[in-house]
Amino acid sequence: MMQEIGQSISSTDLGLIESWAQVDGFPCYWVSDQGRVACKSPNQCGYVVSSRPDKDGHYTVLLARDGKKYSRFVARLVAIAFIPNPQGKPEVNHKDGKRKFDNTPSNLEWATRSEQTFHSMGTGLQKRPTNPRRVLKPSEIKQVRALHTQGMSNRGISKAMGVGRTVVINLLQGRTHKLTPMAGSEGRG
């Protein structure tokens, strides 16, 4: 049984003191600094709302208002309630990106989309994007042809070189890079 929701409550099951704040726009819901969401309406006793991870591992809750249900990210609810955002950054970043279940203020920060992307690449959560249409240098063209001669698939070559498969296919079929001689054809006239 959950205790009365107020400024802070003792959570004996976790051995923690949690601070609670009302969820903006949802007067019957409260969010804690431990990443829990609770409901307390006039005709119900308080209860903790179950949260579930989405396809990317970010925890969400369903909140009801005026007979409609709304899905909200727990991290965002915690950040709005407990983390100042003086620069008005639009997104919430998990500092430890591998622990998306940790929705405590110490693991969250406000960020821009580019800061999020830079952080995910810096921590190895996201690979650096390839440029599928970039122009290959002559040495890279020779390398593509050599890999093809060795039996590597077009997909494997495109991944190894950081270009799209279409670039590899067009190069090997002679549609592009026509001025660069094929391997073994140097000196032919």
Would you say 82 and 33 are in contact if contact means Cβ atoms under 8 Å apart?
yes
Question: Which phi and psi angles does 23 have, rounded to 5°?
Answer: -75, 125
The alpha carbon of residue 120 and the mean position of all alpha carbons in its chain are separated, in whole angstroms, by 7
Give the integer Cα–Cα distance in Å for 38 and 90.
Answer: 24
Can you give the pLDDT at residue 166? Answer: 87
Res 40: pLDDT: 85
Does the 8-122 domain belong in CATH 3.30.465.10? no
For residue 151, what pLDDT is reported? 87
CATH 1.10.10 fits 131-183, yes or no: yes
Q: 16-24: which pairs have CB atoms within 8 A and are 24 or more residues apart?
A: 19/82, 21/81, 21/82, 22/81, 23/63, 23/72, 23/77, 23/81, 24/80, 24/81
Sign of CA dihedral 29, 33, 35, 36: negative
Cα 173 to Cα 166: distance, rounded to the nearest angstrom: 10
| pLDDT (0 to 100) of residue 63 | 95
Say if residue 48 is exposed, middle or buried (CB neighbours under 10 Å; 0-12, 13-18, 19+): middle
| Residue 130: predicted pLDDT | 65
**Domain ranges across the chain:** 8-122, 131-183
The residues that bridge with 10 in the sheet, in sequence order, are 17
Q: What is the pLDDT along the chain (189 residues), one digit of tens a residue?
A: 333 444 444 454 555 688 999 999 999 999 999 999 999 876 666 789 999 999 888 999 999 999 999 999 999 999 999 999 999 999 999 998 878 899 999 999 999 987 887 787 677 776 655 676 677 888 888 888 888 988 888 888 887 787 888 888 988 998 876 544 444 544 433
**Which pLDDT belongs to residue 25?**
94
